[in-house]
Copies of this chain bind each other. A is one copy, B any other.
Amino acid sequence: MPGIHSAIVAVGNELLCGKTTDTNGSWLSERLAFLGAPVLRRWVVGDHSSEIQDVVSVAMDIAELVVITGGLGPTQDDLTRQAVADCLGLKLISDPELLQDLRDRFRVRGFAKLPRSNPVQAEVPEGAEVIPNLRGSAPGLWIDVGNQVVVLLPGVPQEMRGMFDEALEPRVREYFGSRLAPLAQRTFHTTGILESVLDERVGTVRDKLPEGVEVAFLPDLQGVSLRISTSLTTERDRTRLDDAEAVLEPIIDPYRFEAVSGDLVESIARELMDAGLSIAVAESCTGGLMAKRITDLPGSSAYFRGGVVAYADPIKIDVLGLDERIFIDNGAVSKRVAVGMAQGVAELMGADVGVGITGVAGPEGGTSTKPVGLVWYAASVRGRSVFEKKVFFGDREAVRERAGQAAFRLVFRMLTDSV
């Protein structure tokens, strides 16, 4: 394969027993990918010398840059330095500058002498270069083993990240130079289309995509993001992403929204502010979820009037002003109730846009004609109402999340004149 690859080894019993989630792995993976040394494989191992050695030796077989995090502290279970030295056949020697530096740090904190366990932190494999740690006591190490580099960093995320940005990234650039293949990427957020359907449609134009452009689907309960990426070796490579976007545009356009956060509510907020409109929501099955999502955004008071969680039917009648007969004729989960809730809350709260949503979130309460997952939702803008119904699958949480998102999508389409 052209270019170089990285491998990452995270060391620590706290990771293996599940007490701590390995966030260093994904953070480093992203940085290394964009730097042009994508990660091929990651490991998590415990504080056991043989485990560390087994894994580091495989990592060195498959990658030019091996980054090892954790296990550099002063305690007895911190074995990474020794294990890596053993694996590379190097002796550990005490670095006089590091030792002095450790002494100075502890003196500042009121220790006349170093705690007995700390001097091991000044021991480095012969030939290793020290990467200073400005935020803690465990220094990092850069070990050049000839055409290949092994790097040791502390496991504390804040220390590791600082050392990567300040010292490691420039060193990697300098060491590997033109062997690096930095990446460019672009992400398109969509909602309202299933991953499998989107994949099928992208499949129909896959042969029109420029070579070297990779497409990834990133689904969650609120939609699917499509990410295109390509390596950035010449200036011409940049135009490949433009070309790929032009190919994908007709497919994603009906479902696409733009938001830095990836949240459709951000796009709705922008549309509301641009048009000078206010919004209010009336929720039954989502039970406050839509109001919460709107108010998750700082500054939402500029356009959000408020909401009514009309969970019990009498609230829909007494507070939102729906006619009791609608319930007798149609039931609470119906088009007329959704529309009535949207119009009622807009009127009650003096909002330009009203949203209504009513459905069966489950797990109980479904019938043959109104199954769990059935949701009616409506949006009303200054008297004009649109509505939809869908059957959402998944458990209670999934139904609620997906239904809320579908209702937001209806509002978005109404605000952008596509419905």
Partner-B contacts on A (CB < 8 A)? 13-23, 25-33, 38-46, 51, 55, 58, 73-77, 105, 108-110, 115-118, 134-137, 156, 158, 162, 194-197, 199-200, 203, 216-219, 227, 229, 281, 283, 286-296, 298-301, 304-312, 314-315, 318-319, 348-350, 361-364, 371, 391, 393-398, 400
Contact = CB atoms under 8 A, between A and B. Distances in A.
A288 B292 contact: yes
Contact of A26 (B20, B76, B296, B394): B20
Given A17-B38, A40-B46, A306-B315, A75 B196 contact: yes
For this chain, the copies found in one complex come to 2
Contacts of A219: 156
B391 A109 contact: yes
A138 to B, nearest CB: 11
A319 B290 CA distance: 19
Given A108-B371, A197-B115, A301 B311 contact: yes
A117 B196 contact: yes
Contact of A28 (B18, B74, B287): B18
Contacts of A158: 395, 397-398
A375 to B, nearest CB: 12
6 contacts: A14-B216, A18-B28, A42-B45, A73-B196, A288-B293, A308-B319
A110 B373 CA distance: 13
Given A18-B33, A158-B395, A287-B296, 18 more contacts: A14-B216, A17-B39, A17-B216, A17-B229, A19-B26, A75-B195, A77-B216, A105-B393, A109-B393, A135-B394, A281-B309, A289-B295, A291-B311, A295-B311, A298-B362, A298-B363, A299-B364, A306-B309
B41 A17 contact: no
A397 B58 CA distance: 37
Nearest to A291: B288
Interface of A is mostly: mixed
A74 B200 CA distance: 10
